[in-house]
């Protein structure tokens, strides 16, 4: 493949990614507002709901950046920055997780989720760095990163709802 990053070939993928991310942000807001008391009063669920919103917003912005006509090295730098931003909450989570395992397990927290997000964001950083170097195949890593983030956020959202259900059951 002579030129893997041909914006016209990636257009539909990133339109779908951006649209689905935006739709999921809306659904997350609705689900959170329906159980606002439980989520706000539980620091683990509150943190996870915030992180999911952040990650969906990052996927949405990543899709927009890819769709904006711009030089590949600039796109790569923007994608590196966004994915580095995504690593911060996950490294914080890992640190706090090992200090307070019991509460995190109750809230549905598991270290494998953090590892999945970390790997995904590292793929995004690598893809962006490769694009900076004018190597077109970096877009495959970026796309893979976005797919993993989207799937992981959906599964994480389910885990939040299970945590809310456990809280509601415990209060009855």
CB-CB contact of 99 with 54 (8 Å): no
CA angle at 22 for the pair 16 and 28, rounded to the nearest 5°: 130
pLDDT recorded at residue 82? 97
Q: What is the pLDDT of residues 140-162, one digit of tens each?
A: 999 999 999 999 999 888 888 88
- Rounded to an integer, what is the distance from CA 140 to the centroid of its chain? 17
Domain map of the chain by residue range? 7-171
Mean pLDDT of 62-71: 94
Three-state DSSP state, 100: coil
Mean pLDDT of 31-39: 84
Q: What is the pLDDT of residues 123-146, one digit of tens each?
A: 999 999 999 998 989 999 999 999
**What is the pTM (predicted TM-score) of this model?**
0.85
pLDDT recorded at residue 1? 42
Mean pLDDT of 163-170: 76
- Helix spans in the chain (H): 7-34, 36-41, 43-67, 72-99, 101-106, 111-132, 138-171
Mean pLDDT of 23-29: 91
Nearest in space to 65 (alpha carbons), one of 121, 109, 131, 114: 131
Task: Please give the backbone phi and psi of residue 42, each rounded to the nearest 5 degrees, phi first.
Answer: -115, 115
């Amino acid at each position: 493949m002579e030129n893997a990053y041909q914006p016209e070939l990636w257009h539909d993928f990133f339109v779908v990614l951006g649209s689905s991310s935006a739709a999921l942000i809306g659904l997350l807001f609705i689900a959170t507002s329906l159980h606002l008391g439980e989520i706000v009063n539980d620091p683990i669920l509150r943190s996870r709901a915030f992180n999911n919103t952040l990650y969906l917003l990052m996927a949405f912005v990543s899709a927009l950046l890819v769709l904006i006509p711009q030089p590949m090295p600039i796109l790569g730098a923007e994608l590196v920055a966004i994915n580095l931003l995504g690593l911060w909450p996950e490294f914080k989570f890992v640190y706090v997780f090992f200090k307070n395992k019991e509460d995190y397990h109750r809230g549905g927290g598991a270290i494998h989720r953090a590892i999945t997000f970390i790997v995904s964001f590292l793929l995004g950083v690598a893809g962006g760095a490769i694009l900076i170097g004018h190597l077109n195949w970096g877009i495959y890593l970026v796309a893979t990163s976005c797919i993993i983030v989207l799937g992981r956020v959906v599964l994480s959202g389910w885990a939040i709802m299970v945590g809310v259900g456990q809280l509601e059951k415990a209060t009855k």
